[in-house]
Amino acid sequence: MSTTPSAARPRVFSGVQPTSTLHIGNYVGALRQWVEQQHEGDNLFCVVDLHALTVPEEIDPEGLREAVRSVAALYFAVGIEPDKNTVFVQSHVREHTELTWLLNCVTPLGWLYRMTQFKAKSEGRESVGTGLLDYPVLMAADILLYDTDRVPVGDDQVQHIELTRDLATRFNHLFGETFKLPKAVLPRFGARIMGLDDPEVKMSKSIAAKVDGHAINLLDDEKRVRKAVMAAVTDSGRELRFEHASPGVRNLLAIYQALTGRPMPEIEAELEGAGYGQLKKAVVGVVMDTLTPLQQRYREFMDDRAELDRLLADGAERAAAIAARTMERVRAAMGVG
Ligand code: AQP
């Protein structure tokens, strides 16, 4: 079994699905962590387009291709440095699907039915595709393919990382030491940002695509941000201490904290005596401080498509070289190939 790429530099893998425009939850839960930690690890950041196919009725081939580019441009726009990280598109490295099949063959069905995201996403659907159920196995393949040590994610993905560890353990038990066991890494602040319209549900791309005012999208202009934040659900009181606040106010405070990086007591002191209107204005301010430069860089990457494609092709080549070595090991362990 291969070891950590370098004793001092852990292997990091993470990704986002190009299902729709990314939101501020994806930013603080995932992307910003990647940027903050990019000099500590040997990093692979993937646009996980195969994960975006789990609901066949919603597949739009041209839209998906465009969304892949847009998400990749956002990775670079938030500050991921192309020469220090491997940024690539999942479907460009075929080993992800091959490893998924091999892992499927050692995955007890009951483990997949227990996943809370599967339960939530399949609820109320007349027909549920196998892909939706199998999504965590594809995610396990993504991670295990690269001998990953750390997976920086928001807390909705922790259960999937636990499943990845269980699968790796089961595989190693059945076929001998093959996979390394990865760990989830959560952000200090903002591991779960909630919907502005409904602070009881996680801010989510799929809801944002259908419900105006649910999310702050990374490509929203100031007018849209202001409209969504000013309409965010709060309550009829004035409680601005995090511990005592209602879920909607807590969520706004959490966004403010995540984007400023300041301790909550300091924020509470700053807002003492203020009303919710003032909190919302402060949130709009820090959101725009984050989004304005990010959107400028995003446009530069989107305008130079040849360069973006070149960066992604280069990333795929580097990722494929690692994936090929892992698959040799896995095939040998299982007696195929
Ligand atoms: N609300 C959130 N708060 C903090 N982190 C979040 N993440 C997602 N939502 C929040 C983190 O963003 C990364 C990307 O996730 P994904 O695209 O692979 O799928 P997801 O977790 O299912 O994200 P969405 O936005 O809810 O997308 P849809 O609606 O398409 O399923 C992950 O690290 C996730 O933890």
One-letter identity of residue 88: F
Tokens of 266: 């300091």
CATH homologous superfamily, domain 205-298: Tyrosyl-Transfer RNA Synthetase (1.10.240.10)
Q: Is 10 in the pocket of ligand 1 (CB under 6 A)?
A: no
Q: State the CATH class of domain 11-188+305-334.
A: alpha beta
Domain boundary assignment for the chain: 11-188+305-334, 205-298
State the average pLDDT over residues 188-196: 92
**Cα 151 to ligand 1 centre (Å):** 13
Please provide the average confidence, as pLDDT, over all residues in the chain. Answer: 95
CA-nearest residue, atom 7 of ligand 1? 26
**Cα 1 to ligand 1 centre (Å):** 32
> Helix, strand or coil for residue 140?
helix
Q: Is 251 in the pocket of ligand 1 (CB under 6 A)?
A: no
Q: Is 213 in the pocket of ligand 1 (CB under 6 A)?
A: no
Q: Check if 227 is active-site.
A: no
pLDDT at 1 over 70: no
| Residue 268 contacts residue 282 (beta carbons within 8 Å) | no
Nearest-atom number in ligand 1 for the CA of 17 is: 17
State the average pLDDT over residues 242-270: 96
Active-site choice (180, 202, 210, 280): 202
Nearest-atom number in ligand 1 for the CA of 153 is: 33
Same fold, 11-188+305-334 and 205-298: no
Q: Check if 205 is active-site.
A: yes
pLDDT tens profile 37-73? 999 999 999 999 999 999 888 899 999 999 999 999 9
Q: Is 167 in the pocket of ligand 1 (CB under 6 A)?
A: no
Residue 5 banded pLDDT, cuts 50, 70, 90: low
Q: Is 255 in the pocket of ligand 1 (CB under 6 A)?
A: no
Query: What percent of the chain is predicted at pLDDT more than 70?
Result: 98
**Cα 133 to ligand 1 centre (Å):** 17
If you search the block for the tokens 């580097």, which residue do you land on?
318
| Rounded distance between C-alpha atoms, residue 265 and residue 223, angstroms | 30
Burial 244-275 (b: 16+ CB within 10 A, else e): ebeebbbbbbbbbbbbbeeeeeebeeebeeee
